[in-house]
Amino acid sequence: MGTLELGLLYLGVTLVLLFSGMPIAFALGASALGFMYFFMPPMNLELLAETLYGELDNFTLLTIPLFIIMGAAIGKTRAAVDLYESAYRWMHKMPGSLGVANVIGCTVFAALCGSSPATCAAIGGMGIPEMRKRGYSDALATGLIAAGGTLGILIPPSITLIIYGLITEQSIGKLFLAGIIPGLLLAFFFAAYVVYRASKDIRLANEAIAAGNETVFAAPIVENYSWRERFEVLPRLLPFVLLIAVIMYAMYGGIGTPSEIAGIGAFGAMLLVALVYKCYRWMDVRAIFLGTAKESCMIMMIIAMAFLFTYVMSYLRITQSAAEWLAAVEMSKWAYLFWVNILLLVLGCFLPPVAIILMVTPVILPGIIANGFDPIWFGIVLTVNMELGLITPPVGLNLFVIKGISPDIKNREILRGVVPFIFIMMAFIALLAVFPEIVTYLPNKVGS
């Protein structure tokens, strides 16, 4: 059997196992073990445990559970509510101010936890009911939270960027720097759309009322807060700002490694929730650590099995042959980038970000580098594609989170709500391609 046929068979078996509903780690592992048994010497099976241990024996992997602890500590308290309430009170005069406050809440929470579903659940649990109560349509409320939650894997610290850095041997610090401006810019575009949409809905509602139309038209309600009410929420917001500032300073000031910074963040988050939210009883701490253990074990298992999956691909020369074939195809670098983005978009509709990064990156990255693209820049482009996958059916993880938060909202309303944000993200990828300096400015500035 030739390398092409072997590669197609390997991919086909893996996809069948993944779509069967089997957990991702077990699907990747089962496929790899089967091909090791039939197509590789028996010695490789005997060294399986040593191979897996060698791949996981990486100190940088410690950043994952530590950043998850930080996110769990914030997510198990009223932190998300305080973030969102503070932002809303200070921006209440702006059209769509509550929606913008939710975007800000997602942005700040993303900088504290690095997880998209956690950001979506934490902010959405409070934000969606409040927006619906204040006149926002179901589509806008759910679409905004689903899209805003994706910022969790783009704004550092990002677990997705950590995994990309590990598999491509790129600097995680530079990847974190590269994600700051794109993350904030994408959040700005989300907020700008909310302001535009809210202004339009308010104008249409006023026109309907003036025309004597009794049809109920969903439009955001405008509220007012005094200066005293605005300042009284700041004491609960400042600790989070301080924690983010400490992490950013330590990370980009060269004080420690990413793993050490993650330790500082985890300790700071636990201290913050203990002092501010009185979250120091055993039941509270147990919930944080138990949630962290479950999520960390799931991610580590996926990483271990994905390493085994790519090891088999490399041994059977599937990766090398695919990379050589892609490099030999006569197309411009922009055509290559276009088809890579299409591939990532399609895979994102069915597979979670971690699986896509670990399975696909070894194949497409050589072509990206050969075409003159910066691997740090591509890491951000890939991450935005992963964000798209989180809100595109049928397996958009954030869509399931939103449905869990608001089970009474119909699926078609949720899907209708995310469509504008899908187009915003697609346009944003094109913007990053035309102006790569958006991504590379900070890594080059700090690294120089």
Nearest to 116 by CA among 80, 158, 76, 78: 158
Work out whether the CA dihedral 23, 29, 32, 35 comes out positive or negative: negative
Considering just the CA atoms, what is the radius of gyration of the chain in Å?
23
Q: Along the 448 residues of the chain, how does pLDDT read in single tens digits?
A: 677 788 788 888 888 887 777 887 888 889 888 988 888 888 877 778 877 777 677 777 777 788 778 777 776 677 767 766 777 777 766 777 878 888 887 887 777 766 777 778 777 777 788 788 777 888 888 999 889 888 888 888 788 888 899 888 888 888 988 999 999 999 999 999 998 988 887 777 677 666 666 554 455 555 667 778 778 777 777 777 788 788 777 776 767 777 788 888 888 888 888 888 888 888 888 888 888 888 788 778 877 887 788 788 778 877 667 767 766 777 888 998 998 898 888 878 777 787 788 778 888 888 888 888 999 999 999 999 998 988 887 667 788 778 877 888 888 888 899 999 999 999 999 999 999 999 998 888 775 5
- Residues 89 and 223: their CA atoms lie apart, in Å, by 9
CB 332 within 8 A of CB 112: no
- Residues 298 and 355: their CA atoms lie apart, in Å, by 12
275-284 long-range CB contacts below 8 Å, 24 or more apart?
Answer: 275/239, 276/77, 276/236, 276/239, 277/77, 277/78, 277/79, 279/73, 279/76, 279/77, 284/76
Amino acid of residue 81: V
Nearest to 288 by CA among 269, 301, 302, 305: 269
CB 444 within 8 A of CB 376: no
Amino acid of residue 246: V
Nearest to 406 by CA among 131, 193, 114: 131
Q: What is the DSSP string of 90-116?
A: HSTTSTTHHHHHHHHHHHHHHHHH--H
Q: What is the pLDDT of residue 75?
A: 67
- Residues 132 and 138: their CA atoms lie apart, in Å, by 6
Q: What is the pLDDT of residue 374?
A: 94
Nearest to 326 by CA among 187, 142, 335: 335
Secondary structure (3-state) at 40: coil
Q: What is the pLDDT of residue 220?
A: 57
Q: What is the pLDDT of residue 384?
A: 93
What predicted TM-score, i.e. pTM, was given to this entire model?
0.77
Distance of CA 111 to the CA centre of its chain: 11
All structural domains of the chain with their residue ranges: 58-280+317-447
